[in-house]
Structure formats: C-alpha cells, structure tokens
Structure 1
C-alpha cells in the first residue's frame, strides 16, 4: 500500500511536469514571454497592438504551428530567442528589435510593411 502511494505520486509529478512550460497563445499580446513558460505555441494569428510592447526573453522558443503569424503594430523586442514554423514575423506599422535571434522553417521569415526592423 505504501509503495502504491509513492508510485501514484511519481506518476502525478511526471505528468504535471509534461504540461508545465508550454503556453498557448493567440490574439492580441503584450508583456514578457520568458523561458519558464517556453515554448510558446501560436494557436492563431498573434498581434502586438499599436502602443503595446512584447518582450521575448533569452531562450524562448515560439512555435507557430498551423501557418500562423506574428504581426507587429507596436514594439517587439526579441533577444536570443527562436521563432520556428508558421508564416513568420510581419512588421506592419511598429518596430521589431531582433538581437541574436533565429527565425527558421517559416514561409516568409521577416517582412516589414511600413514598420521598422532593428
């Protein structure tokens, strides 16, 4: 009986750890995406709205499964992070500051339409 409780506790801890550190994202976003909640899975198109800032911290992985895109009308500050899959990053009227970051396996990479890349 005592062994069964330990076994059940280990199973609970194992399955809980599998779900930690994954964040599903869609719609308007701002604030900070950090390594603890990485990877970030785009479950729909994502927009950093005008006047808002999204900081993507070191070590973060963004997976845009399903062909979704990250649009920037505000400010995107991405440092030592990675975006993979999906349509890519579209800078509409805002600014994207990318430092030591990787964008790979995307349809369009990074495109600026009236916005600024730094």
Structure 2
C-alpha cells in the first residue's frame, strides 16, 4: 500500500518539475514536464541576477490549509513564483508577476535575455 501512495505522490508532483529554460520566438519558456510557462518579452520589465534570493522564503498558503504550488514570499522580494531547482544561482524576472528561476549559468542567461528585451 505504501508503494502506491508514494507513486501517487510522485505522479501528482511531477508536473511541477522544472527541467529547463528556453528563449525562442520572442518568449522565455520555462519547461516543465509536459508543459511550459511562456513569458513574452513584451511583458518582461526587468531581469536581474540575484544569488541566494530565495533564502528565508516561505511557501504561501491559501485559506491557511492549502499550499499554493510555486508561490513563495520573503522580505527581499515579497510574493513571487519560483520555477527553480537551485536556491543559490537565482535570477529574478519582473513581468506581470515576480518570477524566480535558476539557470545553470545565471550571468550568461541574464545577458542573453536582456538583449531582445532592450531592443
């Protein structure tokens, strides 16, 4: 019975796994299992590398009992959505909402993302 409970847990959680980021067709694509979160460049106001920005964050709760996936808060950023796998090399994107991601090379990623946004 415990085996099935663990498998069910993994299946429910796997659609939140982030496995990459892609910049194409005027959009930043955050790749999750089976889907992607697309952010058009026109919606992005600011991109900055902020290492360790997720430290001291806590998950947001809805009505005190239901945990909202990806929603976090801390004193540095306030409320934000996290699409990250690493807490130390983080990039903050200000679009319609604050989004935190963690590309492998955050400095290069920020430079690459800023080029089309500034044009």
Higher share of residues assigned helix: 2
Q: State whether TM-score is above 0.5.
A: no
The bucket for the TM-score relative to the shorter chain is 0.3 to 0.5
**Please, what TM-score do these two structures have when normalized by structure 1?**
0.34
Larger radius of gyration: 1
**Please, what TM-score do these two structures have when normalized by structure 2?**
0.34
